Each structure stands twice: as C-alpha cells, then as structure tokens.
Amino acid sequence: MELSNKVAIITGGASGLGLATAEAYVSRGARVAIFDLNAEQGEAVAARLGAGALFARVNVADEASVQAGIAQVMAKFGAIHIAVNCAGIGSAMRTVGKNGPHSLEVFSKVITVNLVGTFNVARLAAAEMQKNEGLGDNERGVIINTASVAAFDGQIGQVAYSASKGAVVGMTLPMARDLAAIGVRVNTIAPGIFNTPLMNAAPDTVKMPLIEMTQFPKRLGHPDEYAKLAVHIVENSFLNGETIRIDGAIRMAPK
Ligand SMILES: NC(=O)c1ccc[n+]([C@@H]2O[C@H](COP(=O)([O-])OP(=O)(O)OC[C@H]3O[C@@H](n4cnc5c(N)ncnc54)[C@H](O)[C@@H]3O)[C@@H](O)[C@H]2O)c1
C-alpha cells in the first residue's frame, strides 16, 4: 500500500517512535491521527505537522476513548487505512524483590496499556478498515504493533513488560489470520534500544550496558530508523504475520 493519501492512526504519536513515524508518514503524503494521553505534546505535534494531522486525547486501554478517537478520525478524514501502535509504558520490578512480591497492580497496568491497549486499537481500527475499497490484492489496511526485544530476552526486573510484549508478538500471527479475510495485514516491530524520551529517562548505569550489548552500530537506535521500517511495512504488501527485530543485533543479558 502506498502511503500517499492514506489515513494512519498512530498511538503514542506525541513522542519517540510514534512521533518519528507520524513525521515520516506525513512527509510521504499520508494524513495522521495522533492518539496519545499527553495532550500538550500531542496538540503541538499535530499543529506542527499541519492540516494533514489531528490530535485526539485517547487512552488506548479504554474502549470508549478509542471509539471516540476513531469517530474523530472518520469525521475529519473519512477512512482509516493504517494503525501503528506505539503507545506503551515500561516498568522495573522483580517477581520478588527487597520489598516483597511484585505489585499485582503494576503488573496489571503494564499488561493493560501495552497488550490490551494494542489489541483494543487494532480491533476497532480493523473494523473501520474493512469498509475501505480494496486496493491491489484487495488490500484494505495495515496494522503495525510495537513489541520489544524484551519479548524474547527480557532482563531482571522486566517480567511485566516482557510479558506484555511477548503477548503482542504472540497475537501477531493469529490477528493476521483473522484479518486476512478482510485484506488487512498485521506485523509487529520489536525494537532494541532507541533514543527516545522513554529510554532517555533511564540513568546511564542502565543505558551504557545496553549500548555495550548492542553489536553494531554501537549506539542507541534513532527513532527515524524505526519509522523507516514502519514505512516499509506499509509499502511491502507481502509482509504479513511477522515480528521484525530492529536492534543492532542486541541480545540482552540478564542485567
Ligand atoms: N525506546 C526504546 O528503546 C524502546 C525499545 C523497545 C520497545 N519500545 C516500545 O516502543 C513504544 C514507543 O516507545 P517510545 O520509546 O517512543 O516511548 P515514549 O515514552 O517516548 O512514547 C510513548 C507515548 O505513549 C503515550 N502513552 C502512554 N500510555 C498511553 C495510553 N494509555 N494511551 C495513549 N497514549 C499513551 C505517552 O504519552 C507517550 O507519548 C512503546 O510501546 C515501547 O514499549 C521502545
């Protein structure tokens, strides 16, 4: 599918990987809807991107909130062709730590935002995508989810985050199979360590070993490198049901 004249929802688009994807899509002629909790940043991003962008304050984990956001997109742009799920949160807590067992509330919150939120947006966006006129191969839509290399080699303290991202990887193929009948492809990107506000908030004692574990190039990923892959997935119609690592060959050690 070409990006030109398509409409993309980008969750978490006010910051980091989602923001870079929004910029890349707009530069290729797509219109984008930023779904994010951060209204101040989201409004500013949409204003900077111009008439081809809108911001909706959406909590991805909340059904009514996503429905309202989608209604806004349909009212302004009339269709949804692409949904990129970048909204996500991290956590650092051991299964049993110095202060006792892992908080069940924290575990549930991470699963709710990263997994339930991703599924919530995907299912509601796909329901709109099925109304699109089929393009070549009868393609009607593309969904891109964001997992993490922590889905495969989660570190000490990443039990909740890894569980949420592993589940995003796990639902990629069945979702692609479910949506094949309506011409919607589903792929997942599993990023290594990228230079975004989420990662920048981590202290050097966390960042430096991760850069050391990255084989080549020995640095954090640039958000536009994620965005280039998010562009390619849309444009390459034979890519479906797959999780793609983009990580400088990092394999994370336990800590
Ligand atoms: N940066 C990395 O190194 C890295 C590595 C692997 C995976 N990821 C994943 O990539 C995605 C994007 O990460 P980032 O580094 O760009 O993070 P970021 O913190 O820069 O951006 C995430 C955005 O999601 C929004 N958000 C959080 N919860 C939300 C909710 N419930 N509803 C709507 N919006 C919500 C935040 O307001 C923020 O704008 C996340 O899913 C993250 O887990 C990031």
- 22-61 pLDDT, tens digit each: 999 999 999 999 999 999 999 999 999 999 999 999 999 9
Domain limits, the chain = 7-246
What is the predicted pLDDT for the residue at 50?
95
Q: Are 96 and 42 spatial neighbours (Cβ–Cβ below 8 Å)?
A: no
Q: Is 25 a catalytic residue?
A: no
pLDDT given at position 202: 79
pLDDT of residue 200: 82
Angle between helices 117-129 and 63-77 (to 10 degrees): 30
Expressed in percent and rounded to 5, the helix, strand and coil fractions of the chain are: 45, 20, 35
Pocket test for ligand 1, best of 10, 11, 17, 206 (most atoms within 8 A of CB): 17
d(CA 224, CA 129): 26
CA of 83 to the centre of ligand 1 (A): 15
pLDDT of 201 strictly over 90 = no
The pLDDT value given to residue 199: 82
**Using CA atoms, how far apart are residues 145 and 131, in angstroms rounded to an integer?**
21
Length of the chain as a residue count = 255
> Would you tell me which CATH number, out of the four given (3.40.50.150, 3.40.50.720, 3.40.640.10, 3.40.50.450), belongs to the domain 7-246?
3.40.50.720
Share the mean pLDDT of the chain.
97
Query: pTM for the complete prediction?
Result: 0.98
